[in-house]
Amino acid sequence: MGFEFYPELGAFRDEVRSFFENDYPQDLIARVKAGVILSRQDQVRNQQALQSRGWLAISWPREYGGPGWDAAHRHVFEEEADRAGAPAIVPMAVLYVGPVIYTFGNEEQKRRWLPSILDSTEFWGQGYSEPEAGSDLASLRMTAERDGDNYVLNGSKIWTSYGHWADWIFCLARTSREERKQDGISFLCAEMSSPGISVHPIISLDGIHHLNRVDFDNVRVPVSQRIGDEGKGWHYATFLLQGERLSYAHIARKREDMKLLRQLASRLPGDDGQPLIHSPVLAAKLAACEIEVETLGISLMRTLSAGEAASPAQVSALKIAATQSAQRISELFVELAGPQGAVFAERHGEGWQAAMPLVEPFAPPAMAAYLFERAQTIYGGATEVQKNIIWRMLDRQ
Ligand SMILES: Cc1cc2nc3c(=O)[nH]c(=O)nc-3n(C[C@H](O)[C@H](O)[C@H](O)COP(=O)(O)OP(=O)(O)OC[C@H]3O[C@@H](n4cnc5c(N)ncnc54)[C@H](O)[C@@H]3O)c2cc1C
């Protein structure tokens, strides 16, 4: 691809590395390394530290407050952030709805929402899925009935990640019934403090509160909070999903994970007292994962370089490969953790390591990550659904 050899990228990499070493809050990196569950306030500090350099919304164009980087610069930045061990940002505002607002929103909406996304004073939730509409999202039933200058929303959204942190939620809701179920859906933004919205926690397999059900009972949303045209929400929704699916790759984090796995396998003894790395079976698994990550990296750069010319099939193929690779990596961590991973649910607060001094510090968070990462091949469109998208594209050729 050649992007590794742009002369200015070396200086850029040094600048980013120096930022993470000298100007970024080191206690946040330490919390991630220690497997501490981050709070909303931690995430605000993370995102505000990035934005102090204008490096939060790295895919946004300059005119909306992004750095206007090309794919190679974004890749180097993410590589350095992952190398430093900084937490991933909360994606719903910056990665998902932000681009929809600056691409399809009106000037007033851009002025209202983009600054508070960039300074992380307002968080967002994604209100797409419903109890009976996940893979088949177009079957969604939430209604938005027009009443003067408002829509009145009724229905439920489910699996809303970080809905309990959100100040706003972007929702797909049915503003009319049409023959084609993708028609008549609108893209509406509701303030979470609106009367009639209630948030109900769902605890996931890892024992943590990431997810929620959000109920809407006669919630009034001003028409001015609809993005784009009434009834055309499906178009904005699929634009958003393309970006969402591309955001799962995390190549640099996978490379860091592979390095850590090798270090652990060189240190931890197997049943024969020898370091686990001497096991040919484990060595083969590590090599296979590393090859997978490197080929994924090349595919990602190819897709990012294609920009808007990237086909939905390419994006879907990447989503499948990236999420399956993440799961295989998490399985290797669990293999190294052994039974020590089982105490993942006892990991509370800063002091968990001191309370369990005989437990390898990596083991409980690795088990929790393994359990949560089962979801990677479900959210953003399940693997089977991505395969259907690829097949439809092939069928058309
Ligand atoms: C951790 C997590 C976080 C999430 N966060 C959010 C969020 O913030 N906002 C949001 O709106 N949603 C969120 N989701 C919801 C997610 O998008 C849905 O779970 C997903 O789209 C699958 O829908 P479903 O759960 O209803 O499963 P279903 O659609 O019922 O699917 C069940 C199974 O059937 C398979 N299947 C379904 N249809 C087909 C088909 N046509 N062909 C072949 N196989 C098929 C699926 O692949 C899956 O294996 C999240 C989900 C998880 C697990």
Pocket test for ligand 1, best of 378, 383, 385, 391 (most atoms within 8 A of CB): 378
Count of H helices and E strands in the chain?
Answer: 14, 8
DSSP per-residue letters across 338-383: GGGGGGGGG--STTHHHH-TTS-TTHHHHHHHHHHHGGGGTTTS-H
pLDDT for the residue numbered 2: 41
Residue 360 has pLDDT above 60, yes or no: yes
Average pLDDT estimate for 208-212: 94
- Kindly report the average pLDDT of the chain as a whole number: 93
- In terms of domains, do 253 and 317 share one? yes
- In terms of domains, do 149 and 193 share one? yes
Q: What is the CATH number of the domain that holds 384?
A: 1.20.140.10
In 239-290, the DSSP E strands lie at none
- In terms of domains, do 268 and 146 share one? no
- In terms of domains, do 283 and 361 share one? yes
Reading the block at residue 141, the tokens are 């039933």
Nearest to 75 by CA among 397, 298, 324: 298
User: Across the strands, what pairs with 147?
Assistant: 150
Nearest to 186 by CA among 292, 104, 70: 104
Nearest CA to ligand 1 atom 44: 384
- In terms of domains, do 179 and 304 share one? no
- Burial of residue 299, with CB atoms counted within 10 A of its CB: 0-12 exposed, 13-18 middle, 19 or more buried: middle
Nearest CA to ligand 1 atom 26: 134
- In terms of domains, do 226 and 281 share one? no
Q: What is the CATH number of the domain that holds 134?
A: 2.40.110.10
Q: Is residue 95 part of a domain?
A: no
Q: Is residue 117 part of a domain?
A: no
Instruction: Give residue-wise pLDDT tens across range 347-358.
Output: 766 777 787 888
Q: Is residue 137 part of a domain?
A: yes
pLDDT for the residue numbered 1: 41
User: Which of 89, 109, 138 represents a domain boundary (last residue)?
Assistant: 89
- In terms of domains, do 46 and 181 share one? no
Q: Is residue 145 part of a domain?
A: yes
Nearest to 241 by CA among 377, 381, 378, 117: 381
- Which residue did the predictor score with more confidence, 241 or 22? 22
Q: Is residue 119 part of a domain?
A: no
User: Identity (one letter) of the amino acid at 348?
Assistant: H
Ligand 1 binding site (Cβ under 6 Å of any ligand atom):
126-129, 134-135, 159-161, 211, 375, 378-379, 381-382, 384-385, 388
Nearest CA to ligand 1 atom 37: 135
DSSP per-residue letters across 181-221: TTTTEEEEEEETTSTTEEEEEEE-TTS-EEEEEEEEEEEEE
User: Identity (one letter) of the amino acid at 118?
Assistant: L
Active-site residue set: 244
- In terms of domains, do 226 and 274 share one? no
Instruction: Give residue-wise pLDDT tens across range 115-139.
Output: 999 999 999 999 999 999 999 999 9
Residue-range definition of the domain harbouring residue 216? 124-230
Residues 6+ away with beta carbon under 8 Å from 132: 139, 141
